[in-house]
Chain A
Amino acid sequence: MEQNFVIETSNLTKRYEKLVAVDKLNLSIKQGELFGLLGPNGAGKTTTVLMLLGLTEPTSGTCRVCGFDPFREPLKVKSLSGYLAERMGIYEDLTAEQNLMYIMKLNRIPENESRMRVKDALASVGASDYARVKVGKLSRGMRQRVGVAGVLIKKPKIAFFDEPTQGIDPKGKRELLDLFKLISRREKTTILLLSHMLHDIQQICDRMGIMINGKIVAQGSIEELKSKRGEEWVIAVEAKNISQKLLHELSDLEGIKNVERSGNLVTVECERDLRSEILEAFVQNKASPLDLRAKEHSLEEIYLSYLGEA
């Protein structure tokens, strides 16, 4: 097994009675990578992480985290990694500081160092002012920050964040994502970000995987994922005087896959950028184009198309 992968799974499977939550998952994540795992709710993302942490026993297959088998040596894996669950799991009747100190105690960090780390972690997530407030009284966004601080404070080699941006306002979300990026660059922490929000992952992740029904249907850098679905262009032209002849001519053009008309709008699907050729055809046929829009296949459509297939 190569050492530069900090997370490696092979044919990892988890079955709950009839339901297959994770289906023969093969995933390799490199040291220092910011990997986004995208998928709808119930795709098996959380189950995967629970298996990586040794909190749930896999039905079959193996996984290794930093070279350890999480189910055989859970304590080693757990002390190297930090996990922020979807529900965060911080004690609401304790203050932020008490929560973090408790985590430090469970990690056998000496008292003096703990205090320093608590301060630093709360400062890095911008929650210093709320250190002595009971977590139950904090806003959802602030709680989330305390939760993130609870992961950072361990100085983990790998951090798992499960839907960390849920329920946070756009500004807070932005700050949180920037923070993840910063940690990944500065501390060389490997981060696995689980989300059903494509936008979050697209913003910061080096690589991503799309997980649907327990399977990774695509993985790679964002560019790779885009190119995997072909460089298809969809061009929409709004024009007056559209004739049948024009439509015929358009469909005869080389590289055109489909032409559709609805009212004044002609939508052309083509294999490459044929904008000028298309416009030319319009002008030659005395149709006057008013507007032309090219839609590049966005990652979102790719995601949706995978979802549609499933």
Chain B
Amino acid sequence: MARTREIFLKELADNLSSKRFWLLFIIIYALGLFITYGALQGLELSRTGGEFVFLKLFLTGGQGFPSFLWVVAYLAPLLGFIFTFDTVNREISSGTLSNVLSQPVHRDSVINAKVLAGIVTVALTLVGVVFLVIGFGVLSLSTLPTLEEVGRILVFLFLSIVYLSIWVSIGLLSSVFFRREGTSALASIAVWMFFSFFFYMVVSLAGNTTLMLFSPTFLFIEAASVVLMPLVRILGPVSIEKLVGMLPNPLPLGQSLLLIWPHLTSLIAVTLIIFALSYMKFMRQEIRAI
């Protein structure tokens, strides 16, 4: 792990001080506030209050506002790859990579540091915005979240970070595979659009809904819904036999976790596979600028 820490700190500082971070930061925080506002309005309208009201802040939209979950699932991927889509090829074309690699550092330290910095940047942003939403909720609902709610929100946060890590590594992958920054940006955006919008069309054309499980976005939404809706007990096609004798009670957190365990492991596996691909490519890459 020679010098990974130093490179990581530099990358993180670069990310956090970059213009694109602040741009997204403002957008996402503003969005977070709007959404909470919308969710609160929605809550008041339906007067469903009572149980798991803080979870509903993340789950419900209202009056034309999308839900927080929707934003994380469909818009936050941008946040994931915006820091990594040019992280390698830009350094190759500006020659800084060969400078860094001519210092006594291992090549893998560079790519490890880059992916870590990307994930940490995303995580910091998410943690910030989630706590902002909770704080906003506490202020307007004048009640505190229960321990169960806090636990579920933390699990949701973790799930979101894992989900966005996939997008961080997709950005990294395209920055390793494409020499031009424009191309790699387009490639990342194409993957994002595909899974966010076109995948549903493909699946409905194919007529097989189990295909949905190949979309990280779908996996994430399903898992996050289980975490945020303690009432969900079964995922996937439901048969009558399964429903017989089922109690409409909320599940404890541990049971919900069991339900999403496959989702969580697949999301992590996808991240690791994509990262491994970029790692292999990077280790054998010619680093000189053309």
A and B together in one complex = yes
* Chain B 135-160 interface mask (CB, 8 Å, partner A; 1/0): 00000000000000000000000000
Q: Which of A77-85, A124-132, A231-239 contacts B (4 or more CB under 8 A)?
A: A77-85
* Chain B, residue nearest A47 (CB): B288
Query: Which B residues, 1 to 20, have Cβ-Cβ distances below 8 Å to chain A?
Result: 2-3, 6-7, 10, 14
* Chain B 40-64 interface mask (CB, 8 Å, partner A; 1/0): 0000000000000000000000000
Query: Which B residues, 59 to 113, have Cβ-Cβ distances below 8 Å to chain A?
Result: 94-106
B289 in the interface (beta carbon within 8 A): yes
B287 in the interface (beta carbon within 8 A): yes
* Contact between B95 and A103, CB atoms less than 8 A apart: no
Q: Which of A4-12, A50-58, A216-224 contacts B (4 or more CB under 8 A)?
A: A50-58
* Contact between A150 and B99, CB atoms less than 8 A apart: yes
* Contact between B103 and A89, CB atoms less than 8 A apart: no
B286 in the interface (beta carbon within 8 A): yes
* Contact between A91 and B95, CB atoms less than 8 A apart: no
Which residues on B sit within 8 Å (CB–CB) of A106? 3, 6-7, 100, 103-105
* Contact between A86 and B95, CB atoms less than 8 A apart: yes
B91 to chain A, nearest CB (A): 8
Which residues on B sit within 8 Å (CB–CB) of A105? 3, 6
**In the docked arrangement, what's the CA distance between A87 and B90, Å?**
13
* Contact between A78 and B102, CB atoms less than 8 A apart: yes
Which residues on B sit within 8 Å (CB–CB) of A86? 95
A189 in the interface (beta carbon within 8 A): no
Which residues on B sit within 8 Å (CB–CB) of A76? 104
**In the docked arrangement, what's the CA distance between A87 and B106, Å?**
21
Known: A46-B288, A87-B95, A89-B94. A55 touches B102 (CB 8 A): yes
Which residues on A sit within 8 Å (CB–CB) of B7? 106
Which residues on A sit within 8 Å (CB–CB) of B98? 50, 55, 83, 85, 87, 89
* Contact between B97 and A89, CB atoms less than 8 A apart: yes
* Chain B, residue nearest A102 (CB): B10
A204 in the interface (beta carbon within 8 A): no
Which residues on A sit within 8 Å (CB–CB) of B6? 102, 105-106
Known: A50-B288, A106-B3. A85 touches B103 (CB 8 A): no
A92 in the interface (beta carbon within 8 A): yes
A123 in the interface (beta carbon within 8 A): no
A88 in the interface (beta carbon within 8 A): yes
**In the docked arrangement, what's the CA distance between A55 and B101, Å?**
7
A258 in the interface (beta carbon within 8 A): no
Pick from A47, A53, A55, A81 the residue with the most CB of B within 10 Å: A55
**In the docked arrangement, what's the CA distance between A88 and B94, Å?**
8
A90 in the interface (beta carbon within 8 A): yes
* Contact between B102 and A83, CB atoms less than 8 A apart: yes
Residues of A whose CB lies within 8 Å of any CB of B are 46-47, 50, 53, 55-56, 74-76, 78-79, 81-83, 85-93, 102-103, 105-108, 150, 154
30 A-B pairs with CB atoms under 8 Å apart are A50-B287, A53-B102, A55-B98, A55-B102, A56-B287, A74-B106, A75-B106, A76-B104, A78-B102, A78-B104, A78-B105, A83-B99, A83-B102, A85-B95, A85-B102, A85-B288, A87-B95, A89-B94, A89-B99, A90-B99, A91-B96, A93-B14, A102-B6, A106-B104, A106-B105, A107-B103, A107-B104, A108-B3, A108-B104, A154-B103
